[in-house]
Amino acid sequence: MIPVQGYDGRQVAVLGLGRSGLATARALAAGGATPVVWDDSPRGRDMAEAEGWDVRDLTRSGAFAGIAALIVSPGIPHLYPSPNPVIAAAWAAGVPVDNDIGLFFRSWATDDWDGFDSPPRVIAVTGSNGKSTTSALIHHILVENGRPAQLAGNIGRGVLDLDPAHDGEVVVLELSSYQTDLARHMTPDVAVLTNISPDHLDRHAGPGGYFAAKRRLFAEGGPDRAVIGVDENEGLYLANQLVDDLSDDRLIRVSVTRKLTDGWCVFARKGFLSEYRRGKQVGAIDLRDVKGLPGAHNHQNACAAYAAVRTLGIGPKGIEVALHSYPGLPHRSQLVAERGGVRFVNDSKATNVDAAAKALQAFPAIRWICGGLQKEGGLDGLIPHLGAVKTAYVIGREAEAFALQLPGIETVVCGTMDVAVARASADAQPGEVVLLAPACASFDQYDSFAARGDDFTALVLAGA
């Protein structure tokens, strides 16, 4: 646990009592603060009472008297589409609003660090797609190369559940736009932007607000090194703002669409990763046989992770060996089984059009399981990437409407996962891939993308 610094002897309110909220209350108490907690759901309040916390209705008038700060869980809207009433009350009372990411950065460094030979580092990863894989891959490379490391944030452990730092340790944080948008303190040593595509637009009032939330990690965080995916205009814009010219080694540009040779850059073309520095190639890796990272989208993740760990002095050979032992993450291009020459791949995390499009480009012949709760913008972005699809097996409550948006390919309206897996398995030929890449949220039928992926995996393994 990371005891929160700066609130000793003061009351701090916590709104939202899921995993991160309860961890925040514990970390505040460990640092000498007195947590005052609230959740809109009775279940959350019951859990807090069972731990002995002071549960106080923060929606009541005068609830913020004597409160030093309000710490908000990431799933709670603070501005768009409308502020949560508790957050609005904190603003009106002049109480600072923060989240657990802000508390982590203000509390991570301690006096113990004075005795370390090498100061701990923080690598923070954000972006629309690939940030989980990139974060896990960075952590894997570090561990495989003998560097002490912890993984937290939007993946794995909550940030305040981390162990206190060790000499030379690296913490890898996956940060969503919900987390970067509100944190009052962000000071990573290395910050990574994988890519940008439309997502969470209601929460950020459009693409500009979404990009602004991501940009805060770099513009306000002031990292020593920035790794920026430059295959979209937002990445190009951000990279252009961070340095005066490409000779500045504080910036590493990453691409999977073109060759880069100026400055410090890492790119992948036709399955080969290359690192250039000041016009000279200094590293290369053949990614084609790395089983845990199939497709160009995963090659982008590999480039971003490679660049991040290069800033810490890990050599290309050590990175290459680690890439080949990377097992992949559940629900992200996860190879579930191979049967009769047919591979079954779980990419349930492909919850938007851009992520699904990248998954569809990773394999040559696909039996595609798709559908669910559609996000804004429709499916037009998928149309150019359907060439490898033999048949689409559509699930979800609006399966028929989804199927009508897929011109030129055979569609089978299945409705439920069990029907889709059975039909796709029966139709698939050797050399083909049965791919779950829904391009939609899961909440019409499942509690989460993970529950959806688990259902697919269980059905595949049962031989449905």
- Identify the CA nearest to 104 among candidates 2, 28, 1: 2
| H runs (alpha helix) in 201-255 | 201-204, 207-219, 233-242
Burial class (CB in 10 A: 0-12, 13-18, 19+), 327: exposed
Name residues whose C-beta falls within 8 Å of residue 40's C-beta, 6 or more positions apart in sequence: none
* 127 has binding-site annotation: yes
- Locus of tokens 């492909």: 350
* 132 has binding-site annotation: yes
- Identify the CA nearest to 217 among candidates 197, 203, 196: 196
* 34 has binding-site annotation: no
- Return phi, psi of residue 452, to 5°: -65, -45
Query: Rounded to 5, what percent of the chain is helix, strand, coil?
Result: 35, 25, 40
Contacts 24+ apart (CB under 8 A), 52-58: 53/25, 56/13, 58/13, 58/15, 58/86, 58/89
> How many angstroms separate the CA atoms of 228 and 230, rounded?
6
The DSSP call for residue 40 is S
- Buried b or exposed e, range 282-293, using 16+ CB within 10 angstroms: ebebebeebebb
Name residues whose C-beta falls within 8 Å of residue 34's C-beta, 6 or more positions apart in sequence: 9, 10, 11, 12, 28, 54
* 128 has binding-site annotation: yes
Q: Which residues are annotated as a binding site?
A: 127-133
Q: Which residues are annotated as a binding site for ATP?
A: 127-133
